[in-house]
Amino acid sequence: MEKLIVRGGKPLKGKVTISGSKNASLPILAAALLTDELCVLEGVPPLRDVHTMIRILRNLGVKVVQEGQRITLDPSGYQGTEAPYKLVSTMRASFCVLGPLVAKKSQAKVSLPGGCVIGPRPVDLHLKGLKALGARLKVEGGNVLAQTRELRGTTMYLGGSYGSSVLGTANVMMAACLAKGRTVIESAACEPELVDLAHVLIKMGAKIEGAGTPVLRIEGVRKLNGFTHRVIPDRIEAGTFLLAAAVTGSELTVSGARAEHLGAVLDKLREAGVEVSGREGGMQVRPKRKFRPVDVTTLPYPGFPTDMQAQMMALMTQTPGISVITEKIYPDRFMHVAELGRMGAQIKLEGATAIVQGIPRLSGAPVMASDLRASAALVLAALSARGTSEVSRLYHLDRGYDRVDHKLLELGADVRREKTD
């Protein structure tokens, strides 16, 4: 394992280029299972989760060639229908091969997924939607077993206890593209990553209306073609670097950040006093050190993203006054609170709400990442803290951020990666 050594207090300066979206890339790679033709996806970040998805596709019989950030997939003649535990258990997004396999091969055996430890994230909406399309499903030995003679379009409601499901919507949308007849998905997810997937499916010949709205209408087709597509920039990486500039009081240009994907984040940053503006091809943050406390509630898109909650908390720990952060997507997603406390942060948890009393500055300390976004928050805290911090379990960070230590070094941060004992 590795850790990141961070000597805090150094301002960042320059321009950082945002990588392609991991959360858009993974379901698009799975969409290749819906066709027999060549598929090309460009701008894919070389992350651990992407490598896991490639291993799953190869295990199914898809020929995959990765050249830098360009991935070419040849699914012609693939025969596999099983995604095993040893692969799926490491990454939740791998479960989105279920819909394409059922639609294309009429059967599938997919292990129940793993991923970050941020509380229960059931797959009931995935199963509900596929069952509505006509798939026969059962859970046995930790696997979902699916079979169908024919998928048929229908109208379904995919809302859950904490709102819509991005991967659940993706799974059902992909399957519905090859179902007979018309499918209407109500309470569909609206995230930009899902819209990017819809654009790819439309390039493949699918008939989809309403992408980016809560109601998706899909007219099934008999066959889907290959595609060539460039994935959208990663809005969570963009938001993380905007906050990196804020916590360090730095002037930074974030190239590739799309303001239209970051509305709720930009709203809260500006409410907190962060001076951020759009510019051609990206966004710019201007240096400022005096911030205002804010109240943040995570919600499905276009609300404030749960994947930015921990990073926003890193800023609030050093903002005068009391900020309140309420988690309505994953109520248990506060594993980073104890580690921020090791750096001097004053945070009180009351159920799904964190009450943050800001202090002038955090102190460097050894901390341990518990999940992907928690690791980003700890790095942000370390960049702004007095003294040196060690962020261990760096593999969490590597699941979602492309060469983040190299990007920080280029911006002037004092960071280095080391092997742990």
Strand residues in 119-222 grouped as ranges (E): 136-140, 143-147, 155-157, 182-186, 207-209, 215-219
Residue of 39, 96, 116, 177 with catalytic role: 116
**DSSP secondary structure of 339-405:** HHHHTT-EEEEETTEEEEE--S--B--EEE--SHHHHHHHHHHHHHSBSEEEEE-THHHHTT-TTHH
Q: Respond yes or no: is residue 116 known to be catalytic.
A: yes
51 CB contacts (<8 Å, ≥6 apart)?
A: none
Distance CA 23, CA 17 (A): 17
77 CB contacts (<8 Å, ≥6 apart)?
A: 36, 61
Give yes or no for a contact between 200 and 223, defined as CB atoms under 8 angstroms apart: no
The two three-digit tokens of residue 197, written as one number:
């997937």
Distance CA 194, CA 48 (A): 21
CB atoms within 10 A of CB 80: 18
The two three-digit tokens of residue 62, written as one number:
């898809």
Q: Number of helices (H) and strands (E) in the chain: give both, helices first.
A: 14, 24
**Which residue is associated with the tokens 């970040």?**
45
- Output the CA–CA distances (angstroms, integers) from residue 230 to 15, 40, 280, 398, in the order listed: 22, 9, 19, 22
Coil, strand or helix at 180: strand
* Residues annotated as catalytic (active site), given as ranges: 116
